[in-house]
């Protein structure tokens, strides 16, 4: 087993697999907080915008996962874990979703999925 150490991250290589273990995972979590979150959407244009406040959280400690129906956010900072899971108002096109994080503010935007994208044209006889 080979180990390479960095001041922020420990990389462990074993059997061809690499596991990334942050030192922060070893820290005990004292608080679990739902961050301030606001969103707006326009059903006519199919646009969705959300803002999530994560004060003091480093960018590398923010994890955002999306499905067409919902998103899940997890962020960690000094014994504090921010958790947020929300449903989108409409099914989203996950390929159109973009996220930008600066100075503790996460901006998420995307487009709604067109319900006719998977429609099949039927030839009339």
- For the chain, strand residue ranges (E) read 2-5, 9-14, 17-22, 31-33, 37-42, 47-53, 62-66, 70-77, 80-87, 98-102, 105-111
pLDDT by position in tens, the chain (length 125): 444 444 333 333 334 444 434 444 557 889 999 999 999 999 899 999 999 999 999 999 999 999 999 999 999 999 999 999 999 999 999 999 999 999 999 999 999 998 888 889 999 98
Domains parsed from the chain with CATH numbers: 28-111 (2.60.40.790)
To the question of pTM greater than 0.85 for the whole model, the response is no
């Amino acid at each position: 087993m080979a180990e390479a150490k960095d001041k922020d991250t420990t990389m462990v290589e074993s059997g061809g697999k690499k596991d990334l273990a942050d030192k922060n995972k070893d820290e005990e979590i004292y608080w679990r907080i739902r961050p301030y979150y606001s969103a707006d959407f326009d059903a006519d244009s199919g646009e969705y915008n959300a803002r999530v406040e994560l004060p003091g959280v480093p960018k590398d400690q923010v994890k955002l996962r999306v499905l067409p129906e919902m998103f899940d956010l997890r962020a960690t900072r000094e014994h504090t874990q921010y958790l947020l899971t929300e449903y989108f108002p409409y099914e989203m096109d996950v390929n159109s979703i973009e996220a930008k994080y600066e100075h503790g503010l996460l901006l998420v935007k995307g487009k709604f999925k067109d319900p006719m994208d998977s429609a099949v044209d039927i030839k009339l006889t």
